[in-house]
Amino acid sequence: MSIGTIGLTVNWVFEGDFRNKIARIKAQFYTAIILSSGYLIHLLWLLNSDNLQYASKDLLVKLPLFLIPLIIGSSANLNKFEKKIILKLFFVGVLISTVLSSLVYFHILPPKENSENVFQIALFMSHIRMGLLVSFTSILLFYIAAHTNYRYKKGLFLLGVYFFLFLLILQSMTAIISWFCGVSVLVLFSNKIRKRNKKYVFLTWGILISLAFLYVFFIGLDFYTIKDNRNLKQLPNTSYNGELYHHDTINKYTENGYYVWVCVAPNELKRSWEKRSRISIDSNDIKGQVIRYNLYRYLTSLGLNKDSIGLKKLSPDDIIAIENGKTSSIEYSKLEERIRGIFFELELYKDGIETNGHSVSQRLFFMKIGLQIIKENLFFGVGIGDVNDSFIEQYLKTPNDLKKENQMRSHNQFLSFFISYGIVGFLLWLATILFPIYKIKPNSSVYYIFMVIMIVGFLSDDMLERQAGVAIYITINSLLLFSFYSIDGDSNVLARTKRTPNINS
C-alpha cells in the first residue's frame, strides 16, 4: 500500500501537465482539494498535541488522505478499458484473499495466530476491514450484473453470492450488517432495477430482510426462554456426596434455558474432573477461557447439576469439547453461536459482571470511556497525538475489569476524531466529506453503497487508524467520486474552460 501511494505520487509529479490538472480541479468545484483538506485539519490539530512522536506516526499513516484525492481528482477520467482492468484486478484480488482465508477456515492453511479464533482467517488485514471490502465487492458484482450487458451476468451474480457466504464464514457482524445496508441502498435507489422488476425486487428483498430479522429474533427468544422449572426457593442443600451446594439465585444467567449458578459443588466437581482430564479445571482452554466455567455452562446446557453425578453423565467426547472451549452441548451453526455469544456478552455487561475479552461489550465500554474524554475536552479535543494517552489516563480513573492489553481506544472512527478534534474540528472534518458529495452528486448508487458500508465500518472500528483502512476508504472513495462519476475530467478540459469562462467563475 505504501508502494502504491508512492508510485502514484511520483508518477503524478513526473507526468506534469499541471495546467490541465488545475483546470480539472476547478471544473469539479475544487472538491478534490476539499476532500484532501481533511488531512490538513489533522495536521492543524498537531498544535493541540503533546505526544508528537505518536502524532508523527499517525500523520504518516493518514498521508494518503491528502495525496490520493489530489492525484485522482486532477487526473483525466479513466476510459472504459482502464475501468474494466481495475475492476477485474480488484475482483481477482478479493477472490484470492477469500479463497486463502477459506483454506485457513477448513484447516488446510495455518491461521495468523489462534486457530480457534475465526477472525484469524483474515490473513492480510483485520477481519472487520476485510469483511467490509468483501461486502462492497459482493454488492458491486450485483450492480454490474443488473446494469450492464455483460454476457456472464449469472456468473457475476453467483460470485457476489459466494462473497456473501464468505461473510457468514468470517462471522464479522459489522460486515454482515454493512452488506444488508448496502443491498438496501442498491434496491431502493437503483433506478434500473426498480424500473425492470420493481415488485419482484422489493418483494424478494423484503422477504430476505424479514427472514434475517426473524432468524435473530428466534435465536434471542430461545436464548431468553427459561426451561428450568425448579423452584429457586426450594433447591437441595447438598449434593449426593454431601458437599454443600452453592446457590446464587440473584444471578439468573442461563445456558439453554437452565440456571447456571445454582446447584454448584465446586470442590466435588474439581476432584471428579481431575479423574477424567489431564488439564486443570482452573486453567485456560485453547480459546483463553477458564475450563471451570466452560464445565459449569456445559453441564447446565444438559440440565445437570454441577457436581460429580452430573460429570459422570458426560461422555469422553464431551470432556474433549469442554477442554477445547465448548460451553454448550448443543451444536449451533457458527453464525448462531456468534449471535448467542453477543446476547450473553450484553447480559454480562448490563449487570456489570464481566466485560473483559468480549468484543461487543468491550466496545460499549470503550465508547463510555471515549464519551467521558469528549466531555472533558468538548470544543477542541485532545489533539491527534494524545488520544492513546487520554484513554490510558481515563482507564486509570474508571473502575473496570479489562486486562491491560484489552484497554483499547474507542473502536469508532467518528468518536476517535471527535476526541482528537473536539466539536469544532469534527464538524470541519465532516464538511470535507459531505461537500464533495453535495457538489458532484454521483449519479450512481454504487458510490452511496460504498459510503453506507464505510459508515457502518466507522461506527464499529477505528477504520482510519490503520494503513489498510485508510487505503480502502480514500482510494475507492476518490475513484468513484472523481474517475468514475466525475463532472469533467477529459484530457481537453483546459481548452473547454477557455471557451466557457463561466466554468472558471
Q: How confident is the model at residue 443 (pLDDT cuts 50, 70, 90)?
A: confident
Residue 8 maps to a domain: no
How many folded domains does the chain comprise?
1
Residue 248 maps to a domain: yes
pLDDT digits (tens, 9 = 90+) for 126-171: 899 999 999 999 999 999 888 877 778 889 999 999 999 999 999 8
Q: What is the pLDDT of residue 505?
A: 31
Closest-CA residue to 143 (of 176, 191, 178): 191
pLDDT digits (tens, 9 = 90+) for 354-370: 777 778 888 888 999 99
Q: How confident is the model at residue 493 (pLDDT cuts 50, 70, 90)?
A: low
Burial class (CB in 10 A: 0-12, 13-18, 19+), 195: exposed
Share above pLDDT 90 across residues of the chain, in percent, rounded to a whole number: 53
Residue 496 has pLDDT above 60, yes or no: no
Residue 297 maps to a domain: yes
Q: How far apart are the first and last CA of the chain?
A: 38
Cell numbers representing residue 432 in the block = 470535507
- Stretch 278-299: mean pLDDT, rounded? 88
**What is the chain's Cα-based Rg?**
27
Q: Residue 269 and residue 240: Cα distance in Å, rounded?
A: 12
Cell numbers representing residue 37 in the block = 483538506
Residue 316 maps to a domain: yes
The three-state secondary structure class of 182 is helix
Average pLDDT, the chain: 88
Residue 272 maps to a domain: yes
Residue 200 maps to a domain: no
Residue 414 maps to a domain: no
Residue 66 has pLDDT above 80, yes or no: yes
Residue 313 maps to a domain: yes
Q: Which domain holds residue 328?
A: 228-332+347-353
Asked if 90 contacts 475 with a C-beta cutoff of 8 angstroms, the reply is no
